[in-house]
Amino acid sequence: MTQPHRWDELEKGQIIGTRRIELSRADLIRYAAASGDHNPIHWNERFAREVGLDGVIAHGMLTMGAAVGLVTDWAGDPAAVVDYQTRFTSPVPVPDAASGSPQAPTALLEITGTIGKLDPDASTVRIDLKVELLAGEERTRVMAKSQALVQL
């Protein structure tokens, strides 16, 4: 991932980076403790199924925060992100650990950031984020119109 050094090095369509992030049920518990969001759809399989989900899902704000990390790392300063918005399109199911499994199963997200717009008058760069859940050969977009505005 490259950090912006000079305005003239940036161009629309340029990829700022790609990263993969794994989320486990343990991550969901830690996030719930830190955020105060203890909704049982994020930790209780039975409850999640009772309300119509296929199982436990990741917190939307955890997914959103994981995605924007790509942008803050590229910008070199989290405060450079002056606006960030998205629309959630699909939940992120996080599988349960199989009994006797040596490794906890995870949900795998792939995040790619692309420069969507440059505004030289405002010295801002809009980064468009593509956030997908990877499951074998399947890719499911979990966030749409995910955009971060970076002040350089």
- For the chain, the domains span 7-23+62-151
The CATH-assigned architecture of domain 7-23+62-151 is: Roll (3.10)
128: closest CA among 105, 145, 108, 152?
145
Chain segment 66-116, per-residue pLDDT in tens: 999 999 999 999 999 999 999 999 999 999 876 455 566 899 999 999 999
pTM of the model: 0.90
Chain segment 106-124, per-residue pLDDT in tens: 999 999 999 999 999 999 9
Q: Are 56 and 96 in contact (CB under 8 A)?
A: yes
Q: Are 79 and 95 in contact (CB under 8 A)?
A: no
